[in-house]
Structure 1
Amino acid sequence: MHKSVGKRMTAAQFNDWVEQYDKAELRILKPDVGGIEWEVCFSSHLSRATRTADSIFKGEIILSEQLREIGIHAVGATTKIKLPLSLWLILARLAWYVSHRSQEEGKAQTISRARSFIESIERDYGESNVLIVSHGAFIKVLAKELRLRGYKGKTGIIPKNGRLYTFMKRQTKNDRSE
Structure 2
Amino acid sequence: MIIGLVRHFKVTYKPISTWMNSEEFNQWIEEYNKSGVSPPESTGHGVEWNMCLSSDLSRATVTAEMLHKGQIIKTDQLREIAMRSVTSTQIKLHYYMWLFIIRIAWLVSHKSQDETKAETILRAKQVVDQIEENDKGSNILVVSHGAFMRVLYQELIRRGYKGRGFAKPKNGKLYTFEKK
**TM-score, normalised via structure 1 length:** 0.89
Tell me by how many angstroms 1:31 deviates.
3.6
Question: Are 1:65 and 2:80 matched, yes or no?
Answer: no
53, 56, 73: which is aligned to 1:45? 56
- Structure 1 residues 6-155: aligned runs within 5 Å: 7-29=18-40, 30-33=42-45, 35-76=46-87, 78-155=88-165
Contact map agreement 2:43 2:66 (CA 8 A) in 1: no
Bigger radius of gyration: 1
Larger helix fraction of residues: 1
Larger strand fraction of residues: 2
SS of the equivalent of 2:37 reads: coil
- Residue deviations 1:72-107, cap 9 Å, x none? 11011x211111111101001111111111110011
Number of corresponding residues: 167
Contact map agreement 1:99 1:106 (CA 8 A) in 2: yes
Contact map agreement 1:74 1:92 (CA 8 A) in 2: yes
Tell me by how many angstroms 1:8 deviates.
1.6
Which amino acid is 2:65 matched to? Answer: D
Tell me by how many angstroms 1:154 deviates.
2.3
Quick one: distance in 2 between partners of 1:108 and 1:154? Answer: 24
SS of the equivalent of 2:60 reads: helix
SS of the equivalent of 1:166 reads: strand
Alpha-carbon RMSD across the aligned residues, in angstroms, is 1.4
Tell me by how many angstroms 1:157 deviates.
1.5
Tell me by how many angstroms 1:26 deviates.
1.1
Tell me by how many angstroms 1:127 deviates.
2.3
Residue number in structure 2 paired with 1:176: none
- Structure 2 vs 1, CA of residues 3 and 13 (structure 1 numbering), >3 Å: closer, same or farther? closer
Larger RCO (CA under 8 A, 6+ residues apart)? 2
Tell me by how many angstroms 1:3 deviates.
4.8
Percent identity among equivalent residues? 48
Quick one: distance in 2 between partners of 1:131 and 1:96? Answer: 27
- Residue deviations 1:95-127, cap 9 Å, x none? 111111111001110000000110111012242
Which amino acid is 2:134 matched to? Answer: D
**TM-score, normalised via structure 2 length:** 0.88
